[in-house]
Amino acid sequence: MNSRSDRLAAILVILPSLLLLAVFVYGFIGQTLWVSLTDWGQGAGALALNPQIHWVGLENYKSLFTGFLDVRFRQDMVNMVFFTVLFVGASLLLGLLLAILIDQHLPGEGVFRTIFLYPMSLSLVVTGTIWRWMLQPQGGINALPTLFGLPASNFLWMSSRTQILQFNWQALPAYLCWAGVAVLAVAACVYLVKGRHKTAAFFAAPALLLLALVAWGPAGRAALLPYPETHGFNLALLGIVLAAVWQMSGYTMALYLAGLRTIPDELREAARVDGASPLQVYRYVELPLLAPITWSAVIILGHIALKIFDLVFAMAGPDNASTSVPAISMYLTTFRGNQFATGAAIAVVLLLMVAALIIPYLASLLRPGRAQ
Amino acid sequence: MRASAQERMGTAQGTIQAPETQAALPAGRAQAAPAMRTARRPRHGWTFAFLYALVVLLAIVYLIPVYMTVITSLKAPQDINLMTAWRPPAHPYWASYVQAFRQFAPTLRNSLILAVSATLLSAMMGSLNGYVLAKWGFRGSKWALPLILFGMFIPYQSILIPLFQFLRSVGLYGGLPGLILVHVVYGLPITTLLFHNFYVEIPDELLGSALIDGAEFFKIYRWIILPLSAPAFVVVGIWQFTQIWNEFLFAVTLTRPAFQPITVALANLAGGNAVYWNLPMAGSIIAALPTVLIYIFLGRYFIRGLLAGALKG
């Protein structure tokens, strides 16, 4: 607005917060990055206020992804990916179903909405404790079939050692390349169909290059490890997914409801006048308008899933390797094992994955006048 | 109706500004639109019965954990077994609550002090920050908000080691003041966002007339902005209180046993390979009660914070 002293006052008021965040967020991230490039914790005296530490470059990262000792971290990454995919997918579907049901204005709508959303007000530690009991081998969910005269289930929810969809970690570079080829190829096809040939070529060229690399070049044979190492989806994670979906699907419902309520009634009315059935109104009018909400829900739920810590800690304990995720091993290596450098490296990997989701999201806020 | 729906449509899609636009709107307007909507389509008997049965079934599924927690917390340890897991106790056994409460009393006190003081401090700072960013934009302030917001999305593991070192070096590790500081700092992004979005909706003309009258920065805040801020303080207060009460990672890594909040005590109680589940269940209910009561009685404020703030995760 106007006078100089007012402008100065405004800046002085916000300055402490900006400085605090500059140090506590950006400064500390920088420091974590630096720690991850040292050997802090691999010698004695890790907890000294001025520990003896040396620069080791990317050694810690190399060891996490290819080292003999860090096999648990690699399974943690696999767990995290499976957890994220299942949790986000189930929350979206269930959340959309709940939102559509609530949106029917059934009698008692408000009560139902309250019931579906109340788990959001609980601490993940409370949720974890409750579900830990429900999913005990001798606990509630396994006993559920007995209510209907069926034999009790004996699935070991958090302690199952069964692993499905196994793959060889050695071949990971090849898998990632194939995935890259697929994504680029799809993008190229989409633009080709749209008639934007230049953009299509822009995607097709790297796709072909990558294809050549993986099919005939070094990428197809590059192995991360000198020996085969299998990883896969631990069925023990299903219990964690169940509890997480119970807690967060109500939130997804709230997001979709907020979206549904912004769709003007005139649009639905027009579709109905044109003879659309209720289902068709959803399919052709409302779902397309909800697409942007779905994208933000994917980003928000996705980054929550990548960071999941409290729930796993409370449900399965930090020492249960079958359900562990990088956020848990970071805690263990750092605060139990005093392996600060390794912990920092795990934290940086975690941060990079979250940032890959969040930074484009934040950047889209900066772009003015975006349609969505 | 139409204007209001379309106005909100402009912002309510996809971006952070999306759903919490409602948070920023004065209460009356945000509530009005859904209430004015009429039933969507004529109901046929069978469709109605099917939908209603489905929604009731889902509601029961969502309530099962509460049922199981309550009945288990009221059972005597020797009565808890597989065959009767779903049956309520013949005689409620209240001793678990007495024991859990006695065990949790110090951690409840810690959580209360922590949540109240960190909530108040981060709300006050967030209000001032939001006021500056919404009404006194300076060069580069367009970049300030996303840079501030990044702080609420990061996995806190990525700042935990330097934070731990910093708190130890300034002598704040292990106690409540250190944990309060941490919650205030990492609460700033969300409180700033919520207040910013609220203040953006206050028309500039209101401030303009004050400026002509010679009011300046602090006077405008004190006499125009602050009196209008009550709903925003309620939303932010509820959100921050709930988040800090429920928080676990900082609590478990940055406190000594004497100053642990209730979430840590509960995790320890349930994590020690508990044989009898009555105590952890009673403990869960005690730990959950404050935030659940807030949700039940102040739900609509909670949801406004949630839609903006569940971003925080």
Within this chain, do residues A285 and A317 fall inside the same structural domain, yes or no?
A: yes
Q: Is pLDDT at B13 greater than 50 in this prediction?
A: no
Helix (H) or strand (E) holding A215: helix A197-215
Q: Which of A232, A69, A144 is nearest to B60 (CA)?
A: A144
ipTM of the complex: 0.86
State pLDDT tens for residues B156-179. 999 999 999 999 999 999 999 999
Residue A2, pLDDT score: 55
Within this chain, do residues A319 and A357 fall inside the same structural domain, yes or no?
A: no
Residue A143, pLDDT score: 79
Concatenate the DSSP letters of all residues of B132-181 into one string.
HHHHS--TTHHHHHHHHHHHHHS-THHHHHHHHHHHHHTT-TBSHHHHHH
B217/A314 Cβ within 8 A: no
- Nearby residues of A253 by Cβ (< 8 Å), 6 or more positions away: A94, A95, A96, A98, A99, A102, A113, A116, A117
* A220 in any annotated domain: no
Residue A49, pLDDT score: 66
Of A115, A295, A327, the CB nearest to B155: A327
B312 — pLDDT class (breaks 50, 70, 90): very low
Distance CA B313, CA B294 (A): 19
Identify the CATH number of the domain in which residue A268 sits.
1.10.3720.10
* A173 in any annotated domain: no
Q: pLDDT over 70 for what percent of chain A?
A: 94
Within this chain, do residues A247 and A145 fall inside the same structural domain, yes or no?
A: yes
* A9 in any annotated domain: no
CA dihedral A220, A222, A225, A231 (to 10 degrees): -20
Q: How many C-beta atoms lie closer than 10 Å to residue A324's C-beta?
A: 25
State pLDDT tens for residues B35-75. 334 445 556 688 888 889 999 999 999 999 999 999 989 98
Within this chain, do residues A347 and A266 fall inside the same structural domain, yes or no?
A: no
* A15 in any annotated domain: no
Within this chain, do residues A367 and A271 fall inside the same structural domain, yes or no?
A: no
Q: Which domains does chain B have, with CATH numbers?
A: 40-93 (no CATH), 95-312 (1.10.3720.10)
Please name the residue that has the structure tokens 């209720």: A278
As a whole number, mean pLDDT of residues A326-336 equals 93
B162/A32 Cβ within 8 A: yes
Distance CA B54, CA A144 (A): 19
Token pair belonging to A13: 């008021």
Residue B274, pLDDT score: 58
3-state secondary structure of B81: coil
Residue A234, pLDDT score: 86
Within this chain, do residues A61 and A84 fall inside the same structural domain, yes or no?
A: no
pLDDT averaged over every residue in chain A? 86
Residues of chain A neighbouring B248 (CB-CB closer than 8 A): 123-125, 309-310, 313-314
Within this chain, do residues A288 and A358 fall inside the same structural domain, yes or no?
A: no
Residues of chain A neighbouring B217 (CB-CB closer than 8 A): 5-6, 9-10, 13
B16/A32 Cβ within 8 A: no
A221 — pLDDT class (breaks 50, 70, 90): low
Within this chain, do residues A249 and A344 fall inside the same structural domain, yes or no?
A: no
Q: How many C-beta atoms lie closer than 10 Å to residue A331's C-beta?
A: 22
Q: Is pLDDT at A93 greater than 90 in this prediction?
A: yes
Cβ contacts of A205-213, under 8 Å, gap ≥ 24: A207/A180, A207/A181, A210/A177, A210/A180, A210/A181, A210/A184, A211/A181, A213/A177
B154/A14 Cβ within 8 A: no
Domain range spanning residue A351? 22-44+54-69+339-372
Within this chain, do residues A371 and A330 fall inside the same structural domain, yes or no?
A: no
Residues of chain B neighbouring A159 (CB-CB closer than 8 A): none
Residue A270, pLDDT score: 86
Residue B57, pLDDT score: 94
As a whole number, mean pLDDT of residues B17-29 equals 35
* A250 in any annotated domain: yes
- Nearby residues of A273 by Cβ (< 8 Å), 6 or more positions away: none
A18/B5 Cβ within 8 A: no
* A197 in any annotated domain: no
State pLDDT tens for residues B80-136. 877 777 888 888 889 889 999 998 999 999 999 999 999 999 999 999 999 999 988
Residue A281, pLDDT score: 83
A288 vs A116, higher pLDDT: A116
| Domain count within chain A | 2
Q: Is pLDDT at B21 greater than 60 in this prediction?
A: no
Q: What are phi and psi of A46, to 5 degrees?
A: -60, -30
Within this chain, do residues A247 and A345 fall inside the same structural domain, yes or no?
A: no
Within this chain, do residues A241 and A292 fall inside the same structural domain, yes or no?
A: yes
* A222 in any annotated domain: no
State pLDDT tens for residues B176-213. 999 999 999 999 999 999 999 899 888 888 777 766 66
Considering only residues 220 to 249 of chain A, which have any Cβ-Cβ distance to chain B shorter than 8 Å? 246
- Contact between residue A80 and residue A312 where contact means Cβ atoms under 8 Å apart: no
Q: What are phi and psi of A41, to 5 degrees?
A: 100, -10
Within this chain, do residues A30 and A133 fall inside the same structural domain, yes or no?
A: no
Distance CA A251, CA B190 (A): 17
Q: What is the CA radius of gyration of chain A?
A: 25
* A134 in any annotated domain: yes
State pLDDT tens for residues B218-248. 888 888 889 999 999 999 999 999 999 999 9
- Contact between residue A332 and residue A340 where contact means Cβ atoms under 8 Å apart: no
- Contact between residue A61 and residue A36 where contact means Cβ atoms under 8 Å apart: yes
Highest mean pLDDT (candidates A139-143, A242-246, B4-8, B274-278): A242-246
Residues of chain B neighbouring A344 (CB-CB closer than 8 A): 161
Of B135, B165, B306, the CB nearest to A251: B306
Q: Is pLDDT at B270 greater than 90 in this prediction?
A: no
Number of A–B residue contacts, CB under 8 Å: 342
Which of B1, B6, B159 should we substitute to test contact with A (largest number of A Cβ atoms within 10 Å)?
B159
Highest mean pLDDT (candidates A183-197, B14-28, B138-152, B186-200): B186-200
- Nearby residues of A280 by Cβ (< 8 Å), 6 or more positions away: A271
Distance CA B24, CA B30 (A): 9
